[in-house]
Chains A and B, each alone.
Chain A
């Protein structure tokens, strides 16, 4: 017991030192990992606010900083989605920070697009910048909405049968909800918003069959009348005129 008591402070000190060394050793990678997590969360929240239609919240939710990636969501909003004509609430990204990143290229594209709009030009020639090989898209959902709008505004009514760039997102629950509940029924008509049950399908099929049947009978009736008319005309043409009545002269 005594020996144990005497050795206890030394053991505690050693344990404390070991813990400090381990913690310091672990701290750097942990910090790096944590630094990523809040950023990813922030970006997801920004995108969710955009899809929800709460674009006034973007500044508050976006990650702070002067890098292009921090500025991209508000630049999309103020230069493209709802163009701001007066002073903007955000600063331009610093030119020395990630100048070739996808976000920097997008901000340059958005500026060109806004300027073209002011000149009355429908679109800029270059496509919306996408990540290069190995580069990650920081805002894939936001990008899909921009591409969807560009498609609607350029290709227009000829290109709305498919779900387009929003459909390509696939696993995103909010966007999938938008496509199913809003986009498809809006473009295809109110009947397209629900998957019809068996009874409705049967009724629609019988209506279609009825239309086809009615058209067939109408064609047959017209054909019969034409045939009868033609026959009568033929018979009339073949009729032999009776000889003139005999006269005394």
Chain B
């Protein structure tokens, strides 16, 4: 009788002990990629630092021969939720800083700092940069590395929605560069709209993604790009990183480019630069002039391959009716899904 009276207590105690043991002993990570160092669940997403080795291009004496040799390169990736092979920031773990990110889109975006008329092509000064989607600071690191000798490096205002992303990047990806003003916990759109009227930038980069491949609509609309253009220096450029697995005819790329074109108006122009080294990515460049952006005569050797591809692949974007995205109609997720489906159906 006495024993039977204690049964509920014992069952409850065993259940509690079992649950506690399960919490403590079972691996709590949601994903476990090979080489994963750490996973953190934040208020916005799950973020991971992963190390791996990839087949990277070997430096060649001529850019055209870039595909002729490859070798294993140790890498560290910053991955978000569904990222399996993709990443949001990256660091090459080789002691060869000139290799930058092996030709990824960060290297191509960094070319903007070497457009004719930018401070680095002039006698003095450094570019002022707004970077929407800072993540682990890869683009900032690349820009710092390709700065001319004797300059201080780019002056960057970085915007990152998720504060834990920057914390983890600092701790486990790589140290963040200097000359950085960070605004975390704020949406890129809100930050751009809160800038002072005289706050201008030589380069405005938009590299904001959510759930791996989706451009948040509020940083893809005409209203957002108009706000960016308001803060663009006369010789400045807006650079947007876009997934473009369907090539230059992909609807996401075209819609974003047409939206930026409308924001720049008839005195501006928009240009498309596909990244052949990492197929499926392209940069949209918007400038305040109708003239194609040109690289200056002197471009750092580290950027020789991206510069070679820029010279030979840059295309003027010709907008078509109905492609402008607005705050009340910007189906970026549907467009992104179409981009992914299109090569499968080819």
Contacts and interface: CB of A to CB of B under 8 A. Distances in A.
Interface string B52-83: 00000000011111010000000000000000
Interface in B277-323: 279-280, 289-292, 294-297, 299, 304-305, 308-309, 311-318
Given A53-B304, A82-B296, A208 B345 contact: yes
Contacts of A152: 313-316
A122 B246 CA distance: 29
B313 A188 contact: no
A105 interface: no
B292 A189 contact: no
A85 B315 contact: no
A189 B279 contact: yes
Contact of B343 (A54, A82, A83, A189): A189
A154 interface: yes
Contacts of A156: 315-318
B174 to A, nearest CB: 28
A45 interface: no
Interface string A127-166: 0000000000000000001001100111111101000000
Given A120-B289, A120-B290, A182-B276, A83 B345 contact: no
B244 interface: yes
Contacts of A148: 312
A46 to B, nearest CB: 14
B48 to A, nearest CB: 25
A54 B64 CA distance: 9
Given A156-B317, A160-B315, A192-B247, A82 B297 contact: yes
B244 A189 contact: yes
Contact of A190 (B62, B65, B279, B305): B279
Contacts of A85: 116, 121, 296-297
A101 to B, nearest CB: 26
A204 B313 contact: no
B344 to A, nearest CB: 6
Contacts of A81: 311
A186 B316 contact: no
B92 interface: no
Contact of B280 (A83, A86, A189, A204): A189
Contacts of B315: 152-153, 156-157, 160, 187
Interface in B25-74: 61-65, 67
A182 B306 CA distance: 12
B248 interface: yes
A21 interface: no
A112 interface: no
B272 interface: yes
B346 interface: yes
A156 B272 CA distance: 9
A211 B254 CA distance: 24
Nearest to A191: B343
A156 to B, nearest CB: 3
A207 B316 contact: no
A78 interface: yes
Max chain A CB contacts within 10 Å: which of B254, B305, B308? B308
Contact of A83 (B246, B297, B309): B297
A52 interface: yes
Contacts of B188: none
Given A52-B64, A189-B244, A189-B245, A149 B297 contact: no
Contacts of A117: 291, 294
Contact of B290 (A51, A84, A122, A204): A122
B297 A204 contact: no
A18 interface: no
A204 B296 contact: no
A174 interface: yes
B291 A160 contact: no
Contact of A186 (B245, B311, B313, B345): B313
Given A52-B65, A174-B64, A177-B64, A183 B250 contact: no
Nearest to B290: A122
Contacts of B247: 185-189, 192
A82 B244 contact: no
A181 interface: yes
Interface string A68-97: 000000000010011111100000000000
Nearest to B281: A190
21 contacts: A52-B63, A53-B304, A53-B308, A78-B297, A81-B311, A83-B116, A148-B312, A149-B311, A152-B313, A152-B316, A157-B254, A157-B315, A182-B276, A183-B313, A186-B275, A186-B279, A189-B279, A191-B346, A204-B346, A207-B344, A207-B345
Given A122-B292, A191-B346, 6 more contacts: A81-B311, A121-B290, A122-B290, A182-B312, A185-B247, A191-B245
Interface of B: 61-65, 67, 116, 121, 244-250, 254, 269, 272, 274-276, 279-280, 289-292, 294-297, 299, 304-305, 308-309, 311-318, 342-346
6 A-B pairs with least C-beta separation: A156-B316, A190-B279, A189-B247, A53-B63, A52-B62, A186-B274
